Amino acid sequence: MIDFTRTCLDNGLKVLLHRDTSTPLVAINLLYNIGSRDENPELTGFAHLFEHLMFGGTPEVPDYDTPLMLAGGDNNAFTSNDITNYFITLPADNIETGLWLESNRMQGLDFSQKSLDNQKNVVIEEFKQRYLNQPYGDSLLKLKPLAYKVHPYRWSTIGMSINHIEKATLDQVKDFYYSHYAPNNAILSITGNIDPQKVLLLVKKWFDPIEPRKIAIRSLTEEPVQKQARQLTIENSVPADALYKAWHVGPRKSNDFYSLDMLTDILAGGESGRLYNSLVREKKQFTEINAYVTGDIDPGLLIINGKLMKGIDFKSAEASLNEEIEKLKTHLIPPDELDKVKNKFESSHVFSNTNILNKAMNLSFFELLGNASTINDEVTNFFNVTSEAEMEISRRILIPDNCSTLYYKSGKPDNR
Amino acid sequence: MKNTHKIVQPTVSSFSFGRIPEAKKFNLDNKVCAYLIEAGTEDIVRIEFDFLAGQIMEDIPLVASTTNAMLLEGSVNYNAESINRTIDKYGAFPNLSFDKDSAGFIIFTLNKHIEKILELCREILFRPIFPEDELNTLMKNRLQRYQVNRQKVNILSSDHFFQSVFGNEHPYGKYIVPDHFTNVTRSMLREFHSRHYNTSSMNIIVSGKLPSGIETLLNRFFGDIAKEIKKNPLSGIKIKGDIEKKVFIEKSDAVQSAIKIGSLTINKQDPDYPGLKVVDTILGGYFGSRLMKNIREDKGYTYGINSSVNSLLQSGYKTITTEVGAGFAEKTKNEIYNEIRLLQTQPVTKEDLEVAKCFMSGEMIRMFDGPFALAESFKSVLDFGLDNNYYYRLAEKIKTIEPDEIMQLALTYYNIEDLYEVEVGPK
């Protein structure tokens, strides 16, 4: 159970505070309601590039990192399809340094061409390091546009191509900042060794003066229902064939999420998962296999991917995988197998709550979903899933017409 | 317009990790050492079983790591599937741990299931049967992962780096080839297991909100494991680095080059080690480091560059690691050497030093924050026969080190002629 207080400042900033005295540290998490789904299709990767620029300094504080380190702090950030999330941990006594830095860069940025040019290079190298120079590193860059035809989830947060990053201009950067970065588009969570009343006063001291801004209106095109199976084969210089399958699922907030998340655990949650036992251990057709739900705010995907054992062809590997999927539709999951997965959820919930940064991130994200207090219903939501519900959802979601399949073949690289 | 943002920057209070909660040591009936660290507020514990059974102890490549990996593949009373099912059933999180010196098993569990979990740990650690079929599957899967890793420039550079620095004869430096995966047999694993997974080097570290009677429980499950007094000696093979200091491996289709520069150095038993840690932090040990500022934030050649100093039982080593755009490899290497020379010839400014010191002091708080971090920090001194005094010495060095000493340490430990340089990428 995470106890917290919620306050909304006059400028629209939502503030969530949670006390945990088991640590000398505090975590400050600032979520901006802006992700790669908000990007212009001609300028993808921009939200993430912008995240880098948030560390480029402001007129008053030219260097973000140094004052934070002098206060014993550590920080980082990430961008996803849906959000851009900045976080700090630092000694509790120095919490104000964190609030000062975050409020300062919410107020204004030092937009410089040099910083932009440099961070473009850094992000291009990141693109290469994480997506192009890794075996299978581009698999999601290929799978997502197969599954999504119109919704912005068809591109990844790093962007569709290096070319999009190269052409970003300083004017676009400024425009992006003023239309997305503002107190009324952000959620601030602070957890750790704090006195919530005192901290709220400090938050007000630093954030109250920031005026709200006019936030760009989000109008995303809904992905039409997929009516036919899709398939793509690509070839690349990788040592083994790999199979990727993606089915459309509902949004994170729908009740389906819990059934589906549990279903992927039944299939591939650790080495006692069905797919590992049957396809890796017994049939030896795969060397590894995974399943997960993307958990996006808009309707997401359930993805299963695996690497094939040498000498096994796609058709027979896929047939065995389909057999396991069919079993979900025809046989109820035995209660003890379902309980096993539920116990794992309960326990990972306990473990994740020992970490103040996890708690701060989760509070912000659940508040964005609608209400931070629903974080305390998560375990119950998982426990309420029944074998019947799992069968129903398998029959409804895991059907060929709803599926996109990527064969990632070992061979010569495609012309890219 | 209201604008209080002009008001002054908040003052910073000094901070330190204070006193480290000491581990309580007690001996099981068979003299195995168990260390108990009380911390945290949730009813959970982390249990680590640590053996001197890493790479250093193997005569045949992959035998040590395979023995470790096979622990979860079947025991006298459980097959692989039931081991994993039992772990999941109790909501525990297992981690096989394996590195150059030590190996073992770590498990995170809710206190209410600790008895079942300890019983399972006993099976996993002391009654494995290394079934043939599971071994074959494991080796095929590992070989395939190895082949995937051959495509990664950073992994290739790291393998070649260890081979160059420690020599191909020494277990730390042995270069793995595909044949090694087919050479490992059950009897090798059985023999390695009985020699190294026994009480002679075993430590147990339990941290968390300790359940009452934890001593009795540990004794019940591990106190009667046959006592093995004879300690196994470390590898008698001498560390002998390559004569050739520069290695270039061509990977023509790569869009980035991986660079690894470094050499042997002292380990944490040496009194200079804490000072060397400070030098390394300034050079490439954090986001504000010289290398990060130069190669990433100023030049934009890379997504990241970092350096580290690492302790091993038979040596230590330091490395600088990065992946840079294909055209930037030469320039990057030159800049790396420039930064080292700068550290050797010009005193670091007071301001620069202060930032690095504060960063390190902040990190030290994180190293002792909560039961899991405490256990990791404790293990990393225990393995070297040290105790928490090492951390107090490190903290003191961070506080008191002066620019002159940093220059001196950089001269002593960063002799450019001694450095190995490995590059993997397009020509």
Residue B118 has pLDDT above 60, yes or no: yes
- Best probe of the B interface among A1, A127, A133, A379, by most B CBs < 10 A, is A133
Residues of A in contact with B109 (CB under 8 A): 347
Q: For residue A332, count other CB atoms closer than 10 A to its CB.
A: 13
Please give the C-alpha separations between residue B211 and each of A212, A299, B33, B43, in angstroms, as whole numbers: 51, 44, 18, 8
Please give the C-alpha separations between residue B44 and each of A70, B3, B36, B351, in angstroms, as whole numbers: 34, 47, 13, 42
Query: What was the pLDDT predicted at A416?
Result: 42
Residues of B in contact with A346 (CB under 8 A): 91
* Phi, psi of B406, rounded to the nearest 5 degrees: -65, -45
Chain A nearest C-alpha distance from B219 (Å): 26
Q: For residue B8, count other CB atoms closer than 10 A to its CB.
A: 6
Q: Are B41 and B209 in contact (CB under 8 A)?
A: yes
Residues of B in contact with A309 (CB under 8 A): 140, 144
pLDDT 10s digits, B304-363: 999 999 999 999 999 999 999 999 999 999 999 999 999 999 999 999 999 999 999 999
Dihedral, CA of residue A115, residue A116, residue A117 and residue A120, to nearest 10: 120
Secondary structure of residue B122 in the 3-state scheme: helix
d(CA A290, CA B321): 30
Q: Are A354 and B254 in contact (CB < 8 Å)? A: no
Chain B nearest C-alpha distance from A23 (Å): 6
Residues of B in contact with A205 (CB under 8 A): 4
A130–chain B Cβ distance below 8 A for any pair: yes
Secondary structure of residue A95 in the 3-state scheme: helix
Residues of A in contact with B253 (CB under 8 A): 237, 413
Query: Among residues B157, B161, B122, which one has the least CA distance to residue B241?
Result: B161
Which helix (H) or strand (E) element contains residue A29? strand A25-32
10 Å CB burial of residue B187 (0-12, 13-18, 19+) is: exposed
Report which DSSP code applies to B128.
Answer: B
10 Å CB burial of residue A169 (0-12, 13-18, 19+) is: exposed
Q: Are A347 and B9 in contact (CB < 8 Å)? A: no
Query: What was the pLDDT predicted at B270?
Result: 97
Chain B nearest C-alpha distance from A18 (Å): 15
Residue B124 has pLDDT above 70, yes or no: yes
Chain B nearest C-alpha distance from A364 (Å): 22
* Banded pLDDT at B190 (limits 50, 70, 90): very high
Strand partners, B344: none
Query: What was the pLDDT predicted at B232?
Result: 85
Residue B301 has pLDDT above 60, yes or no: yes
Query: What was the pLDDT predicted at B6?
Result: 56
A31–chain B Cβ distance below 8 A for any pair: no
Secondary structure of residue B84 in the 3-state scheme: helix
Q: For residue A315, count other CB atoms closer than 10 A to its CB.
A: 9
Cα B339 to the center of its chain, rounded Å: 26
Query: What was the pLDDT predicted at A26?
Result: 98
Nearest residue of B to residue A68, measured between CA atoms: B359
A193–chain B Cβ distance below 8 A for any pair: no
To the nearest 5 percent, what fractions of chain A are helix, strand and coil?
A: 45, 20, 35
Residue B4 has pLDDT above 80, yes or no: no
Query: What was the pLDDT predicted at A205?
Result: 97
Nearest residue of B to residue A102, measured between CA atoms: B5
* Residue B6 in tokens: 């002009």
Nearest residue of B to residue A103, measured between CA atoms: B5
Residue B214 has pLDDT above 60, yes or no: yes
Nearest residue of A to residue B112, measured between CA atoms: A347
- Best probe of the A interface among B144, B157, B299, B306, by most A CBs < 10 A, is B144
Residues of B in contact with A345 (CB under 8 A): 91
DSSP string, B369-388: SSHHHHHHHHHHHHTTT--T
10 Å CB burial of residue B373 (0-12, 13-18, 19+) is: middle
Query: What was the pLDDT predicted at B242?
Result: 95
* Residue A169 in tokens: 């201009």
DSSP string, A302-367: EEEEEEEPTT--HHHHHHHHHHHHHHHHHSPPPHHHHHHHHHHHHHHHHHHTT-HHHHHHHHHHHH
d(CA B256, CA B258): 7
- Residues in Cβ contact with A173 at an 8 Å cutoff, skipping those fewer than 6 apart: A50, A53, A111, A116
d(CA B210, CA A317): 47
Among A118, A206, A239, the residue with its CB nearest the CB of B151 is A239
Secondary structure of residue A39 in the 3-state scheme: coil
What percent of chain B is predicted at pLDDT more than 90? Answer: 93
Indicate left, alpha or beta for A12 from its phi (over 0: left) and psi (-120 to 50: alpha): left
* Banded pLDDT at B8 (limits 50, 70, 90): confident
Query: Among residues A131, A137, A129, which one has the least CA distance to residue A408?
Result: A137
Residues of B in contact with A93 (CB under 8 A): 13, 15
d(CA A339, CA A334): 9
Which residues 194-213 in chain A show a CB within 8 A of chain B?
205-206, 208-209
d(CA B177, CA B143): 9
Q: How many CB pairs under 8 A join A and B?
A: 211
* Banded pLDDT at B1 (limits 50, 70, 90): very low
Sheet containing A230-236: give its strands across.
A230-236, A403-410, A242-248, A301-308, A286-293
Strand partners, B308: B319
Nearest residue of A to residue B149, measured between CA atoms: A135
CB crowding B326-346: b at 16 or more within 10 Å, else e:
eebbeebbebbbebbeebbee
Task: Provide the strand spans (E) within A33-172.
Answer: 74-79, 84-91
Amino acid occupying residue A37: R
Q: Crossing angle for the helix pair B114-126 and B80-89, nearest 10 degrees?
A: 160
Question: Residue-wise pLDDT tens for chain A (416 aa)?
Answer: 899 999 999 999 999 999 999 999 999 999 999 999 999 999 999 999 999 999 999 999 999 999 999 999 999 999 999 999 999 999 999 999 999 999 999 999 999 999 999 999 999 999 999 999 999 999 999 999 999 999 999 999 999 999 999 999 999 999 999 999 999 999 999 999 999 999 999 999 999 999 999 999 999 999 999 999 999 999 999 999 999 999 999 999 999 999 999 999 999 987 789 999 999 999 999 999 999 999 999 999 999 999 999 999 999 999 999 999 999 999 999 999 999 999 999 999 999 988 999 999 999 999 999 999 999 999 999 999 999 999 999 999 999 999 999 999 998 775 44
Residues of A in contact with B325 (CB under 8 A): 121, 124-125, 128
Secondary structure of residue A293 in the 3-state scheme: strand
Residues of B in contact with A311 (CB under 8 A): none
Amino acid occupying residue B122: R
Q: Are B148 and A135 in contact (CB under 8 A)?
A: yes
Residues of B in contact with A97 (CB under 8 A): 9-10, 12
Q: Are B21 and B66 in contact (CB under 8 A)?
A: no
* pTM, to two decimals: 0.94
* Residue B194 in tokens: 């009985």
Among B13, B288, B323, the residue with its CB nearest the CB of A129 is B323
Check the CA dihedral B60-B65-B71-B72 and report its sign: negative
d(CA B65, CA A254): 44
Please give the C-alpha separations between residue B166 and each of A342, B232, B294, B410, B412, in angstroms, as whole numbers: 47, 21, 30, 22, 20
Among A66, A97, A122, the residue with its CB nearest the CB of B10 is A97
Nearest residue of B to residue A280, measured between CA atoms: B137
Which residues 144-183 in chain A show a CB within 8 A of chain B?
none
Q: Are A317 and A243 in contact (CB under 8 A)?
A: yes
A113–chain B Cβ distance below 8 A for any pair: no
Q: Are A91 and B15 in contact (CB < 8 Å)? A: yes
Chain B nearest C-alpha distance from A77 (Å): 13
Q: Crossing angle for the helix pair B132-149 and B186-196, nearest 10 degrees?
A: 90
A282–chain B Cβ distance below 8 A for any pair: no
Query: What was the pLDDT predicted at B59?
Result: 94
Chain B nearest C-alpha distance from A19 (Å): 13
Among A126, A240, A345, the residue with its CB nearest the CB of B144 is A240
d(CA B157, CA B424): 6
10 Å CB burial of residue A205 (0-12, 13-18, 19+) is: middle
Residue B150 has pLDDT above 80, yes or no: yes
Residues of B in contact with A349 (CB under 8 A): none
- Residues in Cβ contact with A377 at an 8 Å cutoff, skipping those fewer than 6 apart: none
Among A67, A125, A132, the residue with its CB nearest the CB of B302 is A125
Residue B176 has pLDDT above 70, yes or no: yes
Nearest residue of A to residue B2, measured between CA atoms: A209
* Residue B271 in tokens: 């009194």
pLDDT 10s digits, B255-270: 999 999 999 999 999 9
Chain A nearest C-alpha distance from B226 (Å): 31
d(CA B246, CA B128): 43
A121–chain B Cβ distance below 8 A for any pair: yes
Among A99, A100, A344, the residue with its CB nearest the CB of B91 is A344
d(CA A246, CA A124): 27
Query: Among residues B356, B320, B339, B348, which one has the least CA distance to residue B406?
Result: B348
Q: Are B370 and B380 in contact (CB under 8 A)?
A: no
